[in-house]
Structure 1
Amino acid sequence: MKRYFLKAPFFIKFIVVNSYGFILRQKRYNKQFYQYLDQYKRNDKTEVFSFDFKALKKQIKENKFYVENDKTIEKYPIINKQIIKEHYDEIINKKEVHGYLHTSGTTGSGLKYPISKEFINHQWAIFWKFRNLHGITLDTWCANIISQTLFSVEQNRPPYWIKSYPTRQLLLSQYHIRKDTVKLYLDAIHKNRIIWLHAFPSVLNLLANLIKDAGLLSEAKALHLKIITTSSEKLFDHQKKNIEDVFDCKVREFYGQVEGVANMFECEKGTLHIDESYSYVELVPTDNIDECKIVGTSYHNKSFPLVRYDTGDTCILYPNEFTCKCGRKSRVVKEILGRDDDYLLLTNGTKIGRISSIFKSLWAVKEAQIIQDKVGSAEFRIVKDATYSYQDEEKLKEQIKERLGNDFEFEIIYPDHIERTKSGKLKFVINKVNKNNDK
């Protein structure tokens, strides 16, 4: 179906995108969504760090994997993605499954994640609490630079975007942003009078750099954007400053993950706060001073409850005496770590970031790493599990070609393990071509 979509004429793509957008809007924004949104907004200023045992008990009732204890969450072991893949059939509650999401995370290990209807409502309510805080409403149009492939990467003529009326989004392709196309993107945003821009930090930083290189700073500022939001990967300080300088507006960060076990949002004062009532978030100390692992417990997914789930991300805390001037009582985090991905460079000059989605549907991949030594080519290092097959490799090749193009050269190798950094992290993309290209 995806191949047919990519080959379809634009008007067919427009119909498909808008039909799908209508379905999404109906699914996300129902009566329960508005109730939860109102609840989160009312609790925003007063919520504090606490463990809601009743909410957890409701999630794990009759679950085969979890055994109820005497209200002490620390008695549950910390689990990770590999553990839940091994015990998948014990954790899942098929009666509650409303749909599935896919995640790859920082290690590149894919997971098909079951979700309940309640989970969807809570997830979108917490997203919109953050957005409402910064003046964004459901009627605000968003220019969303997305990693999903709307057009073939070989396409060399605009448009590189599709307007989704039901979701109020101008969906722009991440895979066609280059020096020779950047003005077209700015023109599309301007023409549609967009005041809110959203994308991965690495994509926004790339866009900002291309704007400067092309001498289009006045055009970028003339967009009069009110807000730029980021999610899904780490926002570096130098990226934030660069993006804000180019577009002359604030950049606000939202941290979360598909599994919905921990959310953090940047407030009006620029501080990251934990959404305390959304889930139970533990900041577990590591061997590094001031650095903690982010471990979360979901309150809203009966179909696949996760208790003390290690997200694989870490964070740095403020000194104990720090208090945010916004007046919230929730815990604060100084910086999120653990999502630092490099770009891949295509032969036509395009930089592609955050491509972990290649592995989202590849369950048999335990870990993955991409190493680039030369423009237009890369080595994909895959740690297989026992079920990895020829079909998995063919699917991987298809995903690589879809996102990077048929002329991108690649080699797939299968080591027994992938080396970690000195801090114990797995770096998903290592680009050795121009290490300082994004500085």
Structure 2
Amino acid sequence: MTKLTEKVYFSLPYSLQNIAVSILGLKLKRERYGNHSQKKVFEISKEYQSKDTKSVIDRCFVEIAKHAVRNTTFYKELARREKFGADDIRGIEDINRFPVINKHSIIENPESFILNDSRLRGGRFHLYTSGTTGTPLKVTTDIQSRQEHYAFFSSLRAEYGVKTNDRRATIMGRVITTQEEQRHFWRHDYFNKNLLFSSYHLSENNIELYYEKLISYSPDEIFSYPSSLYEIALWMLAHKKPKIRLKLIILTAERFLQNQANAIRSAFDAPIVDQYGCTEMMFFGTRRDVELPMRLNHLHGYSEVLDTLGSISSRGQGTHIATGFINYSMPIIRYNTGDNISLEFDSITGTQNILDMDGRKDDLIITKDGRKIGRLDPIFKSELNIKYAQIIQSPDLSLTINIVPLRTFSDQNEKILREELEKRIGKGMILDIILVDDIERTNSGKFRPVISHAEQN
């Protein structure tokens, strides 16, 4: 939201805020679902069952790689320099012609990765992410690509009997109400039949209200951060509440832990799917049990690992290198996600599985009233001119944000950053913003975007 739009939204009464959320929901529905999405669901259903996985991967890779070489400045110049053409790309083995692309290479020259043909597939728009590396990135995409990406969610839901018009409850880090709100911690998107809960207000004093609203709304599906639903599950178990029955629970954006799985299974009667993806639309992974491998959908992308010696392989342990097959407006081959994973090749299905990952092990920020706040990376927006960012919480709950700024970082950027954080954690907490030259990394070359020294019970 722009500052003006946000000001108008928060000045509205609760009922009109629901209408405003629904209008935005209608826009998102048109971006995410439609004819392209329906066609892709059919393709996924047909080809995901194919026994000839290798030929499917070859076809998807060749299509996106040829497109990149013919239509983007970066890959066109790469092909000229390395003396190969689009027609020389014949299978996934030709991925070795392409270098690893780090996020900063895109940030420094984004237009070179964007489709230079003005005839976009349904209109260009932007998505924003910071990811687990703490570095913000603006992703360019289009209607058709976005709808094809969301087809993978539709296909997943269909496996469990979740229909398009079924009710959904979403518990995520969205700023839909102020920190001063005392009762209504949700807003209703009527067009998508989606009840949006704020994960930023979950506390021991408020959880009963979340539970009561879930009961009265009776959703068919819950889409949530693991940590948020875990808090509700613990409260339900402590108060001996009956299980809530659903068609499906999808957990995403955080590492799903065994203790969380045990509590959620005890509180909810529903199959649970742990989903792994990114705003850049580079991969789509799912698993049905926290102890099972994360299966990567080979129609969505292809994954590799970069080890500490600089070797790249389709299996092993190292940094997750992903090639997306979906986003035609901004095709990126061999994108360094910054996550560390253990990757295996399933010889029976011909697909790739992630055995373990540490890209989503952020600590939670603890507020003075006991709320546990996760997934704070949305505050580090690309327009704030930040290169890297890290939040550190001291045992006394005070916060320090270390910022490696871009040259254009300003006092106004700092002011907006402070405001964005206060929307999520509230006012009154000690907060220092410090500009630094660099941020200390782990032995694997990454740094943790959130470090909390507060008690993480």
Q: 1:198 aligns with which of 201, 205, 223?
A: 223
Give aligned pairs, total. Answer: 426
Note the C-alpha offset of 1:344: 0.8
8 Å CA contact retained: 2:25, 2:192? yes
Note the C-alpha offset of 1:311: 0.9
| Structure 2 segments unaligned to the other structure (5+ residues) | none
Tell me the alpha carbon deviations over residues 13-43 of structure 1, each in whole angstroms, 9 at most, x when there is no partner. Answer: 0111112222222332211110011101111
Note the C-alpha offset of 1:216: 2.5
Match of 1:332 in 2: 353
Match of 1:66 in 2: 75
Note the C-alpha offset of 1:375: 5.0
Match of 1:182 in 2: 207
Change (3 A) 1:41 1:369: same
Tell me the alpha carbon deviations over residues 330-374 of structure 1, each in whole angstroms, 9 at most, x when there is no partner. Answer: 222222321111111111111111111110244521111111114
Match of 1:86 in 2: 108
Match of 2:125 in 1: 99
Question: Counterparts of 1:243 and 1:419 in 2: how far apart (Å)?
Answer: 35
Q: 1:358 aligns with which of 359, 379, 396?
A: 379
Indicate yes or no: 2:292 matched with 1:266: no
Tell me the alpha carbon deviations over residues 220-252 of structure 1, each in whole angstroms, 9 at most, x when there is no partner. Answer: x1x213321111222122322232223243321
Could you say what secondary structure the match of 2:440 adopts? coil
8 Å CA contact retained: 2:127, 2:139? yes
Which amino acid counterpart does residue 336 of structure 2 have in structure 1? D
Q: 1:57 aligns with which of 66, 82, 103?
A: 66
Which amino acid counterpart does residue 455 of structure 2 have in structure 1? N
Could you say what secondary structure the match of 1:334 adopts? strand
Change (3 A) 1:129 1:267: farther
Could you say what secondary structure the match of 1:65 adopts? helix
Could you say what secondary structure the match of 2:38 adopts? helix
The 5 Å alignment of 1:98-177 reads 98-156=124-182, 158-177=183-202
Tell me the alpha carbon deviations over residues 397-424 of structure 1, each in whole angstroms, 9 at most, x when there is no partner. Answer: 1211222212222000122111122333
Match of 1:8 in 2: 12
Tell me the alpha carbon deviations over residues 162-201 of structure 1, each in whole angstroms, 9 at most, x when there is no partner. Answer: 2222112111111111112111111111111113111112
Question: Counterparts of 2:442 and 2:268 in 1: how far apart (Å)?
Answer: 34
Indicate yes or no: 2:94 matched with 1:75: no
Considering Cα pairs closer than 8 Å and 6+ residues apart, tell me whether 1 or 2 has the greater RCO.
Answer: 1
Question: Counterparts of 1:271 and 1:45 in 2: how far apart (Å)?
Answer: 19
* TM-score computed with the length of structure 2 as normaliser: 0.87
Indicate yes or no: 2:2 matched with 1:21: no
Note the C-alpha offset of 1:53: 1.2
Match of 1:37 in 2: 41
8 Å CA contact retained: 1:252, 1:270? no
Match of 2:337 in 1: 311
Question: Counterparts of 1:406 and 1:363 in 2: how far apart (Å)?
Answer: 21
* TM-score computed with the length of structure 1 as normaliser: 0.90
Match of 1:254 in 2: 275
Q: 2:328 aligns with which of 293, 299, 302?
A: 302
Question: Counterparts of 1:286 and 1:357 in 2: how far apart (Å)?
Answer: 29
Indicate yes or no: 2:449 matched with 1:428: yes
8 Å CA contact retained: 2:188, 2:196? yes
Question: Counterparts of 2:372 and 2:363 in 1: how far apart (Å)?
Answer: 9
Question: Counterparts of 2:381 and 2:235 in 1: how far apart (Å)?
Answer: 29
Could you say what secondary structure the match of 2:40 adopts? helix
Which amino acid counterpart does residue 121 of structure 1 have in structure 2? Q
Note the C-alpha offset of 1:376: 4.6
Which amino acid counterpart does residue 63 of structure 2 have in structure 1? K
8 Å CA contact retained: 1:59, 1:301? no
Question: Counterparts of 1:18 and 1:126 in 2: how far apart (Å)?
Answer: 23
- Structure 1 stretch displaced more, 358-367 or 288-297: 288-297
Could you say what secondary structure the match of 2:408 adopts? coil
Indicate yes or no: 2:241 matched with 1:232: no
Which amino acid counterpart does residue 129 of structure 2 have in structure 1? T
Indicate yes or no: 2:302 matched with 1:293: no
Which amino acid counterpart does residue 333 of structure 1 have in structure 2? I
Note the C-alpha offset of 1:292: 2.9
Question: Counterparts of 1:160 and 1:54 in 2: how far apart (Å)?
Answer: 45
Question: Counterparts of 1:328 and 1:143 in 2: how far apart (Å)?
Answer: 33
Tell me the alpha carbon deviations over residues 373-406 of structure 1, each in whole angstroms, 9 at most, x when there is no partner. Answer: 1455211111112221222112211211222212
RMSD after superposition: 2.3
Percent identity over the alignment is 27
Change (3 A) 1:272 1:395: same
Tell me the alpha carbon deviations over residues 132-167 of structure 1, each in whole angstroms, 9 at most, x when there is no partner. Answer: 2233221221110121111101212x2211222211
Change (3 A) 1:375 1:8: farther
Q: 1:382 aligns with which of 403, 408, 414?
A: 403
Could you say what secondary structure the match of 2:241 adopts? helix
Question: Counterparts of 1:112 and 1:286 in 2: how far apart (Å)?
Answer: 28
Question: Counterparts of 2:444 and 2:160 in 1: how far apart (Å)?
Answer: 35
Question: Counterparts of 2:267 and 2:398 in 1: how far apart (Å)?
Answer: 31
Which amino acid counterpart does residue 12 of structure 2 have in structure 1? A
- Structure 1 stretch displaced more, 169-178 or 125-134: 125-134
Question: Counterparts of 1:14 and 1:352 in 2: how far apart (Å)?
Answer: 24
The 5 Å alignment of 1:391-406 reads 391-406=412-427
Note the C-alpha offset of 1:291: 1.9
Change (3 A) 1:143 1:62: closer
| Structure 1 segments unaligned to the other structure (5+ residues) | none
8 Å CA contact retained: 2:19, 2:189? no
Indicate yes or no: 2:239 matched with 1:216: yes
